A = this chain, B = another copy of it.
Amino acid sequence: MENNDLLLKLEKKYSGELFDNVIPFWLRYSLDKECGGYCSCIDYDGTVFDTDKYAWMQGREIFVFSKLCILYGIKDEWRNAAKHGVDFMLAHGKAMNGDYYFALDRSGRPLIQPYNIFSDCFLCIGFADYSLIAETEEERTRAKDEALRLYQRIQIRKSNPKGVWSKQVPGGRSLQVMSMPMIEAMLAIELQGFLGDDVVQQKEDEVLRLFLDRHVDRNRKCVFERVNPDGSLMLDVMEGRLLNPGHALEILWFLMTIAEGRHDQATIDDLSEIMLWCIDRGWDEKYGGIFYYRDYENRPLDKFESDMKLWWVHVEAINAFLLAWKLTGKPIFRDWFLKIDEWTWSHFPDHEHGEWYGYLSRQGEVASTLKGGKWKGFFHLPRMLYTCSGWLKEMQA
């Protein structure tokens, strides 16, 4: 009973924030009524401080506005907002080879080549969800076809995602990065119903295997961001020692969602245990919150932001520990969820102007006033808010 009160209170907080503090901010400030598409570089007070349009941010915003219609029923302003991005990207976003440019200027003129496969991944799930809510049959078909075409291109490109723009010397070091299985886990979850069940299951098997066999080191109780193709480590260089707790927790809740769909409690328990390794290494005992990067041997990193506290790391950690609590019922996950929830909600939200700050110093002070930028848009935060409020409802039942 006491637990149910807590769950109800939490659910109200999460859904209230989504509808009252986050969605209105993006509806009000991000849509470029003049040129189409979304401006994502938005200062604390809603001022657009850069008009370039980044494909990651366009795809993600299309995805979340479409998802809101799927989850809560179609509302014209959400559907129109999704259409705003879809029309702009279909008109301007595609390079000759069918991949999407990384960046366009305000009018849609291409600026940066299609070197980044994640642009296409976010657009793929955006078009897929939009195909379920678009107003006309023609739009639905066009969006679905584009999503499936992109999925196929991603499968072809993924072994060498940067293509001609890769700076790696062929035949040199070939560390495998965790971002590729992570994004494929996201595709497996979001494209259910679009791909055949057998294709989805095969993809799920593949990402589970890649993550558990390559990136998880059970002796060291550690998840490594970059490993050799055979899963061995390269500990004499920084890039081989890199730990990224937010990334690890994000893929862990993706994989746990997959395991939940398969009613595979053994994998759920295993993944939940690995979450604890990540938070033990990532939590800042001195100031609270979760570090962006760590070095396995606590040596220096070449990334300035290593000690900073970033919004996406915290919201993905909230997802991870709430899901682990829901699926295992163990108090340790409840406790971690509540601890991360408390730190996150007392540091990131801005209830005066809406939305959350994204970049805090190690001490938890606002380090940048931006609410959106080249890498922060309408994605991690709203996804966490709708995902968690859904889980919190289930947990009350």
- Contact surface of A with B, Cβ cutoff 8 Å: 41, 43, 47, 49-52, 101-102, 105-106, 109-113, 115, 164-165, 167-169, 172-173, 236-238, 295, 297, 299-302, 304-308, 359, 361, 367-370, 373-375
Contacts and interface: CB of A to CB of B under 8 A. Distances in A.
A109 B259 CA distance: 42
A43 B299 contact: yes
B167 A300 contact: no
Contacts of A169: 101, 110-113
Contact of A361 (B168, B361, B375): B361
B102 A238 contact: no
B359 A304 contact: yes
Contacts of A101: 169
Counting from the closest, the 7 A-B pairs by CB-CB distance are: A300-B370, A49-B299, A304-B305, A110-B169, A50-B238, A113-B167, A304-B304
A105 B238 contact: no
A111 B51 contact: no
Given A167-B102, A172-B111, A237 B52 contact: yes
A135 to B, nearest CB: 33
A165 B168 contact: no
B111 A302 contact: no
B302 A308 contact: no
Given A49-B238, A102-B167, A168-B111, A367 B299 contact: no
Contact of A374 (B164, B172, B236, B302): B302
B51 A112 contact: no
B113 A168 contact: yes
Which secondary structure dominates chain A's binding surface?
loop
A392 to B, nearest CB: 33
Given A49-B300, A304-B305, A304-B359, 9 more contacts: A101-B169, A105-B172, A110-B169, A112-B169, A113-B167, A164-B164, A300-B370, A300-B373, A302-B374
Contact of A236 (B51, B112, B306, B307): B51
Contact of A172 (B110, B167, B237): B110
Nearest to A165: B167
A210 to B, nearest CB: 23
Nearest to A374: B302
A164 B295 CA distance: 33
A368 B52 CA distance: 33
A81 to B, nearest CB: 23
Contacts of A297: 49
Given A113-B168, A168-B111, A361-B361, A300 B368 contact: yes
Contacts of A165: 165, 167
A167 B306 CA distance: 26
Given A105-B173, A167-B113, A169-B110, A236 B299 contact: no
A53 to B, nearest CB: 11
A112 B301 CA distance: 19
Contacts of A113: 167-169
Contacts of A172: 105, 109-111
Contact of A301 (B51, B236, B368): B368
Contacts of A299: 43, 47, 49-50
Contacts of A47: 299
Contacts of A300: 41, 43, 49, 368-370, 373
A375 B49 contact: no
A55 B344 CA distance: 42
B375 A302 contact: yes
Nearest to A376: B302
A287 to B, nearest CB: 13
Contacts of A361: 361
A375 B302 CA distance: 8
